[in-house]
Amino acid sequence: MACVELRNVWKVFGETVAVRDFNLRIDEGELMVVVGPSGCGKTTILRMVAGLEDVSRGGIYIGGRQVNDVLARDRNIAMVFQNYALYPHMNVFDNMAFGLKNRKVPREETRRRVGEAARVLGIDHLLGRKPKALSGGQRQRVALGRAMVREPQVFLMDEPLSNLDARLRVQMRVELARLQRRLGVTTIYVTHDQVEAMTMGHRIVIMNGGIVQQIDTPMRLYERPANLFVAGFIGSTPMNFIPVTLERHDEPALRGEGLYFPIPPELVESGLKTGKERLVLGVRPEDIGLDPELARQHPEWICRVGAEVVESLGAESLVYFTIGRTAVTARLAGVNIPRPGETVPLVFNLNRAHLFARE
């Protein structure tokens, strides 16, 4: 086990700055998720830590030692890719043992490690099979096993679940998180899927265009997004963004097309902190609803809206409507759901809302 640190790391490909001044410290045994849209530099970061790509500037440290000039094979790191590339002519045992054979690990030791990894992954009954006789999930486990038997200091995983179907992906992400906890190996896990990031990461790095947006625990990213990008990226139904201006008469309030909300002091504070007048009110769909208690306490936060589309998901429903010209979604729990065309008084929980500068 080792901590991993990247200090002021840059990666430039010709004209493209793939990674810009990246700083991150991953603690021993931590599962750090790097998440962001395609092309934001995630794979490049992993490849630099693995030693498959030089850094343009900055330093990479593993266990406190600078490894910029250490060859990939001497970094004691194992990488798992989206495309798990098993050797089709070898059975599961030989696929898992392949890296050890190259390292001249004795046969007994190889057998012990493969056996143990297979048992942990629940594939010990498949050791004699060829990859083509395995399901997608089983193949992914073999790829993981191949990384585990190396007993590395660090795991690097690049979208390892994205080739699996949705149901299997959910199952495997739980298994992976459990396995990582059990093995306690420092792990950097890359994904473009914010749900995967939120459910698996001890901490998460959110990237956009080669630049770190925020590094935090899942809960803090959700509760305190540092900017509009993070706010819109985290949350399985995205946060609503409504253009408003801050008015500071006797009672501070937000005014927008079709809405006027007096607001609590903390929200005024965060609006003033942007230093801008044209703001965006960020409210999560789960913070708009029919809560009678909140409606009684804050009748000024009620907005009568016309439900346009209603999607019932069972335990909850999504209600789509428009305020001014802005499309807004509310997520209502329970079964007492408005019908399309109905006008409903929805209450916005502005105690949980955010204000951002518009640009």
Ligand X SMILES: Nc1ncnc2c1ncn2[C@@H]1O[C@H](COP(=O)(O)OP(=O)(O)O)[C@@H](O)[C@H]1O
Residues 23-42 that bind ligand X (CB under 6 A): 38-42
Nearest residue to 120 via CA among 197, 200, 165, 181: 181
| Residue 256 contacts which entry, Mg ion, ligand X, none (Cβ below 5-8 A, type-dependent) | none
* C-alpha closest to that of 148 among 122, 128, 166, 174: 122
Tokens 């594939």 locate to: 123
Q: What's the min distance (Å) between Cβ of 83 and Mg ion?
A: 11
- Find which of Mg ion, ligand X, none residue 40 binds, CB within 5 to 8 Å per kind: ligand X
* Strand, coil or helix: 332: strand
Across the strands, what pairs with 248?
252
Among the residue ranges 12-20, 276-284, 287-295, 298-306, the one whose residues contact ligand X (CB under 6 A)? 12-20
The residue (of 209 and 243) whose beta carbon lies closer to Mg ion is: 209
Pairing of strands 343-348, 302-306: antiparallel
CB of 321 to Mg ion, least distance (A): 37
Q: What distance in Å separates the CA atoms of residue 192 and residue 34, rounded to the nearest whole number? A: 8
Residues 318, 53: Cα–Cα separation, whole Å: 45
Helix 136-148 × helix 92-102 angle, to 10° = 20
Q: Examine residue 51 and tell whether it contacts ligand X (CB under 6 A).
A: no
Q: Tell me how far, at minimum, the Cβ of 192 lies from ligand X, in Å.
A: 7
Closer residue to ligand X in complex, CB, 187/240? 187
Does residue 43 interact with Mg ion by CB under 5 A? yes
Using CB under 5 A as the binding rule, whether residue 44 contacts Mg ion is answered as no
- Binding of ligand X at residue 18 (CB under 6 A)? yes
Indicate whether 82 belongs to the interface with Mg ion (CB under 5 A): no
Measured CA to CA, the distance from residue 155 to residue 163 in angstroms comes to 19
List interacting residues with ligand X (CB under 6 A).
13, 16, 18, 38-44
Interface positions with Mg ion (CB under 5 A): 43
